[in-house]
Structure 1
Amino acid sequence: MSYTPINEISKIRDELRATFCKGTTRPLSWRRRQLHQVARMVQENLEPFAKTIINDLGRPRNETYPVELGLVVTRSITSAEKLEEWTKPEVLTEAVPDWQKTWKPTIFKQAKGTVCIIGPWNYPMILTLQPLIGAIAAGCCAIIKPSEFSPAYSTLLAELLPKYLDTSAYRVVLGGIPETTRVLELQWDHIFYTGNGRVGRIVAAAAAKHLTPLTLELGGKSPIIIDANYDMDLAAKRLLWGKISNAGQICISPDHAFIVREKQDEFTAALKKWYGIFYANGPLNSEYGHIVNETHHTRLMALINETKGEIVVGGGSNDKLGIEPTVVKNVKNDDVLMDDELFGPIFPVIPVDSVDDAIEAINARPHPLMLYVFTEDDQVKQKVLENTQSGNIAFGDTFQALSVDALPFGGVGESGYGRQVLKYTFDEFIYLRSSIDMPKEAEPTLEARYPPYNEEKLKFLGAACLTKIPDDA
């Protein structure tokens, strides 16, 4: 992968800023064209994009086409269709008292300006182009900095994007730590970063120097609570699928499961059963993703070797960076597997005495990006909702939660802040600019504000202080 010369990065930023200041991105017809071009770029290069992602991650086609390629195409088209609705100014005549209605109180949805998108390697297409779709819809210019750990995809994106999008407004910057450092030294009007909390802190610190607003899509350990009365076979099937997707290398991968002690063996036996059904010839001889690089492979194998839990199934690896989905039962809260986000195909199962104990353990850790709850009991659902915090929560399933376009997705606390998907991504790249248009005819209603001051004017201006407070129920 040929990196962008560091001395060129500030020039690229300046060129994008000049384009924004000229108003190039302002017309909705122009934005619509660019959004359709994103869809065309992917649709006309489906196989090349799929091959690069498979080359970088070893991910099966069945996991690549719908989640990466398909979502970019459909969400680009939907965003283009929704532009008028999303960008339409809101005139608030119904939301203000009668004496302010003639002021035409209005909220305009205005682009923040020139923005920076820093993407990860684990879902390199959707997690770089989805923010780009929102930035285009908002009327921003943008650079896209894809991960150096997905070099095949990043190189292809840098090659194809200039053939489809206006390069005076959208550019790709390739590189590693030095190039990213240079990007972060510059002033941007918004930074959208997807990755881990360690780098997220670096990004936030760099943004703070310029008071730059941020979206941080991070991760952490996404826990699971399994109610004793839930169908253990179905829970095992759905959870194992969630864990094996992209070999566990996803920010909302089900990280570890809490289950009442008397159900642990039934649950892990069901996991073993579905493991055999999913991979009759073993995962390492099947369509199954590999670990992104040697460093992460070594880290994950060390965890498997160091855990004090009992490995029920899996645990093996090969020299092609593959690691078998590995189920570990009787894991304790202080086990090595519980130190950090696993980001790999290891599945710790932690026996507890009750759902309350699971909730207590979850609350002792940073707020997760996703919390999974397998129960059909409405009281259990309500208990978990009222007594935990997480960016998102899913009942009865895992990864599929991200397929609902109408829902916002994002973290809370350590798992990040900001929201995305369609309009929620658009909202990250705009600011709300309020306006009034005071008519000349309103002057008689404003007389009380002018000097000379007197008691009569004070009584009028201070009337709000004496507003009656309703009695409590």
Structure 2
Amino acid sequence: MSHALPQITAPLLLDDLIKRQDQYFQSGATRSYEFRRQQLQKLMQVAHLHERDILDALSKDLRKHETEAFLAEIGIVYAEISDALKHLKRWMKPRKVGSPLTVFPARSRIVPEPLGRSLIISPWNYPYQLTIAPVIGAIAAGNVAVIKPSELAPHTAVLLEKLINENFAPEYLRVLNGGVELSQELLSRRWDHIFFTGSTAVGKVIASAAAKHLTPCTLELGGKSPCLVTRKANLDVTARRIIFGKFLNAGQTCVAPDYVLVEDGVHDALIEALRREITLRFGTDPLRNEQLPRIINERHFQRLSRLIEPGKVNFGGRSDPGQLLIEPTLMTGVQIHDPVMQEEIFGPVLPIIPVKDLEEAKRFILGFEKPLALYLFSDDAAEHQDIIGSVSFGGGCINDTLMHLANPNLPFGGVGASGLGAYHGQFSFDAFSHKKAVLVNGTSMDLPVRYFPWIRSKEKVLRLLMK
């Protein structure tokens, strides 16, 4: 199978696909519980059948080890599909809500309905998981979808095209592969929902295009996610979990700790613990470790290389341009105006910055846009409540990193510049659904107070009813 991405879909062919998806959705074919369940089961079967192909594609695109690929990509997809299959009937069920006396004897309910034609644009860093996870939500909610994977992970993109297009009807689900030109063509059309995962800069382009058609969006973006370490942290566990969260996928994770703020009193001890942990996990020569993932391409490798200031490298810092590898790197002596603090790092480089106390750490974080994630390491419950109650962030962990993504009962999404909307579990179903308000009134009774003509006695009754 060739891994060269096909040429951009011709506009006329794209318009024909959109028309077919419109007609299929309007036919009601996707709305029943039985249909949605069957499609989720088929998606699971396809994933299991082609697990080896998925692992191979992820290895070719990012040099992901099989275990890491299963943990962070394939296993999450299995869990998300299983969760949807388990709870779909409950998610679809209309929810009864109370009705005030002013509408007596009416009954009220909220009915979830599919939004319709969805466009899903996915990124390159977790090219399988971050494509299929929103597709699960689209299927569960009863939508049809066009799916555009990232061209920067071409092996996975071509495989996704094969897996979806050979197993699902084009009027239901269709993968289209291409570059920026294809994205521009897709965004010029009207959709009922756009789901995008990627950078904040591109997210603004998506939102601008969607605004022309008043299309609702789910934007899963990024930003500089901080990690706070206080004097009351268990430093050995802290180091282990920071290294896991930062260097998974060579740091190419939207919720990776972007920088560490550590209280002065434990600054040196934390660095020593981090250095030990890197050596334990990656060996004394990480560039020779076959489990070290690669940087996605030359452009990102060069960008990351420019962020590493040799005079501020505390540990690591070496690279292999031929293989696009950068070893886990710790930087100290970093100032807020340094290049490494001016953008989301999205790579295996971790600045460590000392702060006097938690108040200084909060002021530092509030100087940036609201982050997608925040991590606090402390065994003090008062410190937990302080950070949760005073700092805005999309989601995060206390005494851990990344693992809030592993719970489908938690929404995953950003706030402000780090994103709009959330998904995972029922939140994926909700992202692709409209909550339709329905009031059903009876005809055996009809309160006269709401009708013309207005008289003082009616106002008195209304005042009693509407207290």
Smaller-chain TM-score range?
A: over 0.9
Deviations along 1:75-118, one digit per CA (max 9) or x if unpaired, are: 113212222100101122xx224674632212110111111100
Pairing of 1:48-87 with structure 2 (within 5 A): 48-87=53-92
Query: Which residue number in structure 2 is paired with residue 43 of structure 1?
Result: 48
Task: Choose from 134, 143, 148 the match for 2:146.
Answer: 143
> 1:353 and 1:462 mapped to 2: Cα distance?
57
C-alpha separation in 1, matches of 2:336 and 2:229: 16
Are residues 1:448 and 2:452 paired? no
The answer as to 2:384 corresponding to 1:381 is: yes
Residue equivalent to 2:318: 316
Residue 104 (structure 1) aligns with = 107
Give the secondary structure class of the aligned counterpart of 1:284. helix
Q: Give the match for residue 470 of structure 1.
A: none
Q: How does 1:284-323 map to 2 (within 5 A)?
A: 284-286=287-289, 287-305=291-309, 310-318=312-320, 319-323=322-326
Deviation at 1:119, TM superposition (A): 0.3
- After TM superposition, the structure 1 = structure 2 runs for residues 204-283 of structure 1, keeping only pairs within 5 Å, are 204-283=207-286
Answer yes or no: is the 8 Å Cα contact 2:124–2:151 preserved in 1.
Answer: yes
State the alpha-carbon separation in 2 of the partners of residues 226 and 174 from structure 1: 43
Question: For residues 399 and 440 of structure 1, what CA distance do their matches in structure 2 show?
Answer: 55
Q: Indicate the SS of the match to 1:342.
A: coil
- What TM-score results when the alignment is normalised by the length of structure 1? 0.94
The secondary structure found in structure 2 opposite 1:397 is: coil
2:203 alignment partner in structure 1 = 200
Structure 1 Cα separation of the partners of residues 358 and 53 of structure 2: 47
Give, in angstroms, the shift of residue 166 of structure 1: 3.0
Q: 1:3 to 1:76 in 2, by over 3 A?
A: farther
What amino acid sits opposite 1:293 in the alignment? N
Alignment root-mean-square deviation, CA? 1.5
Q: 1:458 maps to which residue?
A: 459
Letter of the aligned partner of 1:69 in structure 2? Answer: I
1:156 and 2:159 are equivalent in the alignment: yes
Indicate if the aligned counterparts of 1:117 and 1:145 stay in contact, CA closer than 8 A: yes
Q: Is the 8 A contact 2:404 2:410 kept in 1?
A: no
Identity of aligned residues (%): 34
Query: 2:218·2:431 contact (CA, 8 Å) conserved in 1?
Result: yes
Alignment of 1:128-139 (within 5 A): 128-139=131-142
Tell me the distance in 2 between the aligned counterparts of 1:83 and 1:263: 48
**Bigger shift: 70-79 or 152-161?**
70-79
Letter matched to residue 424 of structure 1:
F
**Post-superposition CA distance 1:248-275 (Å, at most 9, x none):** 0010011100112232221111111111
| CA shift for structure 1 position 74 | 2.5
Q: 1:26 aligns with which of 20, 27, 31?
A: 31
Is residue 2:17 matched to residue 1:17?
A: no
Alpha carbons 1:6, 1:179 under 8 Å: kept: no
Change (3 A) 1:33 1:4: farther
Name the SS for the 1:441 alignment partner: coil
Could you tell me which amino acid in structure 2 is paired with residue 40 of structure 1?
Q
User: Aligned in 2, Cα 1:188/1:175: closer, same or farther, shift over 3 Å?
Assistant: same
Task: State the aligned residue count.
Answer: 460
Q: Which runs of 5+ in 1 are unaligned?
A: 468-473
Shift of 1:464: 5.3
CA distance in 1 between partners of 2:279 and 2:454 (Å): 84
